[in-house]
Structure 1
Amino acid sequence: MTISITPAASQRMRHFLDQTPTAPGVRFGVKRTGCSGFAYVVDLADAVAADDQVIEIDGLSVVVDAKSLPLVDGTVIDFQRQGLNASFVFHNPNATGECGCGESFTVG
């Protein structure tokens, strides 16, 4: 299981974790939604469940649920600013297509 985080994404995640020091890490996964099937979820983790995998990346704990693991394996998480907009950007080798708005993706 590999997930990579760019320095920009790491800095953004650390900013949120610094504001909520009781959070055990950042939760990364997917949920069924959108016009293509799955959407990414990045949020502070409330807790770590028994079937979660915790990945340590440069001192950051990334919590991934068991159902999301095969869908996000190999993903690079970036954070980009474009004008007034700022968002996490995902480079997922498992995604075979994305919707036009970039909010959801499909797999094999």
Structure 2
Amino acid sequence: MAITITQSAADHIRRHLDKRGHGLGLRLGVKATGCSGMAYQIEYVDEPAAADQLFQQFGVSVYIDPDSLPYLQGTELDYAREGLNEGFRFRNPNEKAACGCGESFTV
């Protein structure tokens, strides 16, 4: 199974990489935290790690470390604006529950 990136997310990533002036893509990962147990992490990638798994769509690259990959298999990375709120949205089929604030999830 792969990670998919929507056109909206790809456009957003590309704009920010262009504004930043360098970088190969984004790293998507998970960390243990929050009231539900895990939270998504996103950071720029200037130099990929040797073990990173690479997913590309719409001309952008998303790197995932091997420890995070089992929790992210099948996830769709989207970017949306809703009223005054905007940000990445994760459609993760492994997610069993999320906290009320939306900052963490359980698998």
TM-score w.r.t. structure 2 length? 0.92
Distance 1:5 1:77 in 2: 5
Structure 2 spans left out of the alignment, 5+ residues: none
Residue 23 of structure 1 is matched in structure 2 by 23
Counterpart secondary structure, 1:12: helix
Work out whether residues 4 and 55 of structure 2, in 8 Å CA contact, stay in contact via their aligned partners in 1: no
**TM-fit CA distance, 1:97:** 0.8
- C-alpha deviations, 1:22-42, integer Å up to 9, x for none? 312111111111101111112
Output the amino acid matched with 2:104: S
Distance 2:51 2:6 in 1: 26
Distance 1:105 1:84 in 2: 23
**TM-fit CA distance, 1:59:** 1.6
Residue 83 of structure 2 is matched in structure 1 by 83
Residue 99 of structure 1 is matched in structure 2 by 99
TM-score w.r.t. structure 1 length? 0.91
Distance 1:93 1:52 in 2: 21
**TM-fit CA distance, 1:21:** 3.8
Distance 1:21 1:29 in 2: 23
- C-alpha deviations, 1:71-100, integer Å up to 9, x for none? 101001111112211111111001111111
Root-mean-square deviation over aligned CA pairs:
1.2
Distance 1:90 1:79 in 2: 9
Structure 1 spans left out of the alignment, 5+ residues: none
Which runs of at least 4 in structure 1 moved beyond 2 Å after TM superposition? Answer: none
Distance 1:53 1:41 in 2: 15
Distance 1:21 1:70 in 2: 32
Residue 8 of structure 1 is matched in structure 2 by 8
Q: Matched residues, percent identical?
A: 50
Distance 2:21 2:57 in 1: 17
Output the amino acid matched with 1:39: A
**TM-fit CA distance, 1:44:** 1.1
**TM-fit CA distance, 1:58:** 2.2
